[in-house]
């Protein structure tokens, strides 16, 4: 698996310096012919054309990746502000999450994902923090998400205005209608999404699995028509087997990937051997039910994550479907 983070601010600043005129070179031309006892030292080591070309290619790719998110904060008539590469989580244990992930098979091309929202999973009335969870969507699939959610309010609109956005927000927070809306979006749009989990305290796969299976079982009992067949029971067994593992220490990374067909793939990075694919469950109802655990219903795994995701969605639907900023200023 390949997970690449955005370029750092220092790297971007480095590019800016490369694009500045070579002051020393200009001075040399101006003073050529004058005699000096010793030459002035160069301001920086010059780079060869191939290196400059590669750095410029990286810079262009970097801002292209960031351009889609830029449209969500850019207002008409305003210059877009510089976008931070990370988002604060609200806990000092895992202080930030990357805004952009590039994810893909080891031998395949990476797919870029944008952060929709994040929050902290807590348990008990004491609010004990368990993990930080963030939901990402493939950049190329954002337009499909936009269109699907906008159509829930207006079948012919390409964007939502203020009052319509509030109607959509009410749907997404409604204990019953949110199940219908998000269930339809997950099932019909084929959007590629990721759930990134990083524990704030030592936990284990069994703890995570048991929380999901309880939630999935509860949903299945409420809808036996869709979830009551033998194939779903087999898929539940595959999920339990997949998470029949040991500990997940604080700060390690667990990724749940929902592909276009709804297949749930699980990746884990123990910090020693790199991210490893643990396995997959083909039945899309499993991943859909896990995702709904964070998106819909009266009670979700992290209310903070749900609110953050809804706010992220609101930024998308206020823009015309498929709109991408053609230029990003920093």
Nearest Cα to 261, choosing from 186, 183, 179? 186
Mean pLDDT of the residues in the chain? 80
Predicted confidence at residue 108, as pLDDT, reads 63
Q: Measured between alpha carbons, how far is 86 from 5 in angstroms, rounded to an integer?
A: 9
Predicted confidence at residue 320, as pLDDT, reads 83
DSSP for 233-283, written as a single string = HHHHHHHHHHT---EE-TT-EEEEEE-TT--EEEEEE-SSS-EEEEEEE--
Pairing of strands 247-248, 128-138: unpaired
DSSP-assigned beta bridge partners for residue 63: none
Residue 105 has pLDDT above 70, yes or no: no
- Average pLDDT of the residues in 271-296: 93
Q: Measured between alpha carbons, how far is 117 from 97 in angstroms, rounded to an integer?
A: 10
Three-class SS of residue 104?
A: strand
pLDDT band at 72 (very low <50, low <70, confident <90, very high): very low
Pairing of strands 128-138, 193-199: antiparallel
Total residues found in the chain within this entry: 330
Q: Measured between alpha carbons, how far is 314 from 54 in angstroms, rounded to an integer?
A: 37
pLDDT band at 50 (very low <50, low <70, confident <90, very high): low
- Average pLDDT of the residues in 224-243: 93
Q: Measured between alpha carbons, how far is 134 from 221 in angstroms, rounded to an integer?
A: 28
Is 320 or 258 the better-scoring residue by pLDDT? 258
Q: Measured between alpha carbons, how far is 217 from 197 in angstroms, rounded to an integer?
A: 22
pLDDT band at 81 (very low <50, low <70, confident <90, very high): low
H-state helical runs in 174-229: 177-189, 205-222, 224-227
pLDDT tens, residue by residue, 234-243: 999 999 999 9
């Amino acid at each position: 698996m390949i997970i690449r983070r955005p370029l750092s601010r220092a790297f971007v600043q480095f590019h800016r310096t490369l694009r500045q005129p070579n002051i020393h070179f200009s001075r040399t031309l101006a003073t050529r012919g004058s005699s000096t006892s010793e030459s002035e030292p160069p301001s920086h080591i010059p780079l060869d054309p191939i290196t400059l070309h590669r750095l410029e290619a990286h810079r262009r790719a970097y801002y292209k990746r960031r351009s889609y998110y830029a449209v969500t904060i850019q207002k008409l008539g305003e210059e877009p502000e510089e976008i931070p590469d990370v988002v604060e989580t609200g806990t000092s244990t895992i202080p930030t999450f990357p805004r952009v992930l590039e994810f893909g098979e080891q031998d395949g091309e990476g797919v870029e994902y944008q952060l929709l929202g994040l929050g902290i999973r807590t348990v008990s009335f004491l609010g004990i923090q368990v993990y930080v969870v963030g939901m990402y969507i493939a950049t190329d699939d954002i337009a499909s998400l936009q269109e699907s959610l906008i159509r829930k309010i207006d079948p012919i609109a390409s964007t939502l205005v203020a009052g319509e956005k509030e109607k959509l927000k009410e749907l997404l927070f409604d204990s019953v209608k949110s199940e219908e809306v998000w269930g339809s979006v997950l099932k019909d749009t084929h959007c590629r999404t990721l759930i990134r989990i990083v524990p704030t305290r030592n936990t284990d796969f069994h703890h995570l699995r048991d929380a999901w299976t309880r939630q999935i079982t509860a949903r299945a009992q409420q809808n036996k028509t869709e979830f009551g067949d033998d194939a779903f029971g087999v898929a539940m067994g595959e999920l339990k087997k997949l998470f029949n593992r040991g500990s997940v220490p604080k700060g390690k990374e667990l990724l749940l990937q929902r592909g276009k067909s709804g297949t749930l793939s699980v990746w884990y990075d123990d910090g020693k051997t790199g991210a490893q694919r643990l396995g997959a469950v083909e039945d899309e109802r499993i991943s859909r039910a896990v995702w709904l655990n964070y998106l819909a219903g009266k009670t979700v795994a992290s209310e903070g994550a749900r609110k953050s995701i809804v706010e992220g969605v609101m930024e998308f639907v206020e823009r015309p479907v498929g709109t991408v900023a053609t230029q990003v200023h920093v």
